[in-house]
Every structure is written in C-alpha cells, then in structure tokens.
Structure 1
Amino acid sequence: MLFDAGREFSFLLTEGAVRTWPGSPSLMLVQLDRLAQVSTLSHVKLGVVPWSVQVPAFPLHGFTIYDGAVSVVESLTGDLTLTGSSELAAHIRTFEAFAGVAVYEDELRELLRTIADDYRELVKRLEK
C-alpha cells in the first residue's frame, strides 16, 4: 500500500520515537535506512520533530488520521475510533502544529544520518 503512488501519505514522528530502540542497534540502523528511503517517495511526506525545537503541544497519545474523516487512537488494550467533527478537528490541528516544526526531505535525512551515527557509536560501546 505504501508504494501505491495513487495514494498520499503523511507521517510524523518525534526524534524521541526514532531514537527509542525496541530492537538491537543494528535493527534500528535498518529502520533508519528504511525511513530515509521512504522519505524520497513523491507521494509520501515524512517528517520528524527534532529535539532542538519546542513542541507546540503535549498530546498524551499518538493517533492516526485516515482521509481526514477518522482518527484512531491506539492503546495497550484496544483502539478508539473517533469520527466526531470536534474530535477530528482537534487531532488535525495537533498534527498540523507538529508538522509545522518537523524537518523534511534533506534536513530529515541529515537528522536520520546523525541518529544512525549515534547508533553506530552505541554498537561500538556495547561490543566492548
């Protein structure tokens, strides 16, 4: 689905999320490479909110907006599907606020390279 050029996707992550390593540093390097590749697709807009900026809000959870009509909030025990206009508007405003401080394209890929370098250093330290 992600490679279907007939669809458009917008993704936002925080640098904290990108730096959280649920797997080995080597796995994270592969993940970072994949993010960099996806960021070059013409129908995908991928942004990362760097640690160096003040976040515009403090949402207590992540969410996914589908076609501007549905927002899904994931939790440990289940999902919450929101379709109310005020709920959607709040999620869209939050997304747009974060999108406004995120880095994209070349600046994004430079940030991903920096994070990858940090993981490589971590691998060296762990191997000692």
Structure 2
Amino acid sequence: MPMSPSSSAQVAREAVAQRLKELRADAGITGPELATRCGWSHPKTYRIEGARTPPSADDIRRWCEACGAAGQADDIIAQSRTAQSMYTEWRRKSRTGLKQLQQSYVPLFKATKLFRVYSPTMVPGLLQTEGYARGLMSSITRFRGIPDDVADAVAARLERSRIIHEPGRRFSLVIEEPVLHYQLGDQDAMAAQLGYLLTAGALPQVSLGIIPSATIARPMWPQELFHLYDESLVSVELLAARVQITQPTEIALYVKAFDGLRGLAVYGADARALIVKAIEALH
C-alpha cells in the first residue's frame, strides 16, 4: 500500500531534521551550544531536530556553520525546499482563484508522454466537458471561499486538456463506476459529460477503464485520486492539499497500485455499457 501522502511529506521533512541532528552530533556539540552559536533559543533547536519547525535557508546556513560544515548547507537547503514543496495547501495554491492553478500544470503536461490517472470521485480533468468542469469548479470556489474566476478557470482547463489530441502521448485513465453517477452541474451537463466519455474513450491514444461497483472481493481497495506523470512524479489530491511525490521507491508503489486498479477495470464494450447505463439513469 502506498504511504499516506501527508505522511510521505512528513518523512521528507524528518529526513532533513535527522541530517541536521547528525551534523550537530558529529561536531560534538549539544543542542544548547548550537543554539548559542546560531543566536536563537534552545527550544528552536529541538523543534527543528524534531521536524516540528521547518528550518529556513538562513537557519540551515547558521546550523552548518556552527557545526563546521558550511559546505553542506546548499545541499540541505535544496533537500528542505523539496520536502516543503511536496505538501502544498489548496488554500495557498488557489488564493488568487482557479485559473492560475490550471495554468500551473501546463509545463508538466507538455513534458509528459504517459499520463496515468486513477479517480474514485470524479471524471479526470483531461476528459471533463465545459458544463461538468463548471459545476465542479463552482463547488470548489464556494467550499474554499476563493475568488470566483470559474469561467476563466474552465476555459484554461479545456485549453490544457487539448493535449489529449496531440501526437506522441498516451493516456491511461481508471475511474470507479460511482463516478458516472456523482452529478456535478445540472442534468444536461452530466448527460453531455457521459456522452463525451463514450467519444473520448474510443480515441486510440486513450485507455479508459471503469471498475464496476459489483466487483467481488477486489484485491485492490479504492485509493485517493492520483496522477502519474511518466515515472517522474505522482500528484495526489487530498481535501486540504496536493502532495507531490518524487521519491523513486514511492513512485514505484503508486505504479504498482495503478496496475492493480487497472486490472480490476473493464474496457471497450463493457465500459461503454456502464456509461450508457448511467446516461439512462439520468432520465
């Protein structure tokens, strides 16, 4: 089972703290001595070593100098920045609205050849229609209390999703069957979304799998919504934050999870039958 995304981010922070602690130990100085050399309170040293307070770049430079290891500062600063960027609160990412958030993914999309997405809750963004995306983003805007730029954000998402028609890329998407019945937007918007799944799922570069609700004794349990970008990055979406995972061993766990979930899905005519069933249930 993949490590909890928030736990994964915490492990990265703890690795930075442990490295600093080892520097102090190797230098043969106590926590209070280090605090004196750095010019801060004793409790701050213990908070940093306990991974309760993330150190600033200046903190790390002072720490390394105090331990006679100034040459290691840049590397530890880079490690700390990576750890802090793994866990990004949606509040910070979306404080200026959702349009900028949509556009922030474009460079990553352009660099990716194989997209793998698992979603237990919604139609993946790559396959969302205008009405469905508008219903979703309107709900997000209200829930998070952020600036309302839904129209621009929807346009940015649709523009970004055009990559699905560009040559040289493959898209493997797996959703749980209940996604077909979670209505976002009005009935017409949902009908249009389901209809588009029938069309997009038939594209040669797209593999759309649906895990039936009736799957018996499934060996892979439902996971959180996650995106795999080639073999270089996993982006996991939580209620409060997005977690980015770059550790190869953890990426491998998500690849393993995706392969297991993909093996439970139905494709082709069987997947289309589930979509048609959901369309009929709207009326």
TM-score (norm. length: structure 2): 0.41
Match of 1:87 in 2: 250
Q: Give the counterpart letter for 2:259 in structure 1.
A: E
The aligned counterpart of 1:21 is: 183
RMSD: 1.4
Match of 2:169, SS state, is coil
Alpha-carbon distance in structure 1 between the residues aligned to 2:253 and 2:201: 26
Q: Deviations over 1:73-125 (max 9, x none)?
A: 012333111011221111111111111010111111111001110112xxxxx
Number of equivalenced pairs = 120
1:52 aligns with 2:222: no
After alignment, is 55-64 or 99-108 more displaced? 55-64
1:105 equivalent among 268, 273, 279: 268
SS, match of residue 2 in structure 1: helix
Residues in 1 aligned to 2:175 and 2:243: alpha-carbon distance in whole angstroms: 20
Between structures 1 and 2, the one with greater helix share: 2
Aligned mates of 1:38, 1:99 — CA distance in 2: 18
* 145, 148, 173: which one aligns with 1:11: 173
* Aligned partner of residue 164 in structure 2, secondary structure: coil
Which residue in 2 is equivalent to 1:77?
240
- How far off its partner does 1:25 sit? 2.1
Higher strand share: 1
Q: What are the ranges of 5 or more consecutive residues in structure 2 without an aligned counterpart?
A: 1-162
Identity of aligned residues (%): 28
Counterpart-to-counterpart distance in 2, 1:99 and 1:60: 12
Q: Structure 2: how far apart are the matches of 1:70 and 1:90? A: 12
Residue equivalent to 2:145: none
CA distance in 1 between counterparts of 2:197 and 2:223 reads 24
Partners in 2 of 1:107 and 1:59 — Cα distance? Answer: 20
Task: Evaluate the alpha carbon distance shift between residue 51 and residue 58 of structure 1 in structure 2; reply closer, same or farther with a 3 A threshold.
Answer: same
Out of 174, 199, 213, the position equivalent to 1:37 is 199
Q: Deviations over 1:48-77 (max 9, x none)?
A: 111111433334511000012210001233
Once the two structures are superposed, the pairs formed by residues 62-73 of structure 1 within 5 Å of their partners are 62-73=225-236
The 1:30–1:101 alpha-carbon spacing in structure 2 relative to 1, beyond 3 Å, is same
Q: Secondary structure at the match of 1:41?
A: coil
Partner amino acid for 1:32?
A: L
CA distance in structure 1 between the partners assigned to 2:221 and 2:264 by the alignment = 14
- Corresponding residue to 2:224 among 37, 44, 61: 61
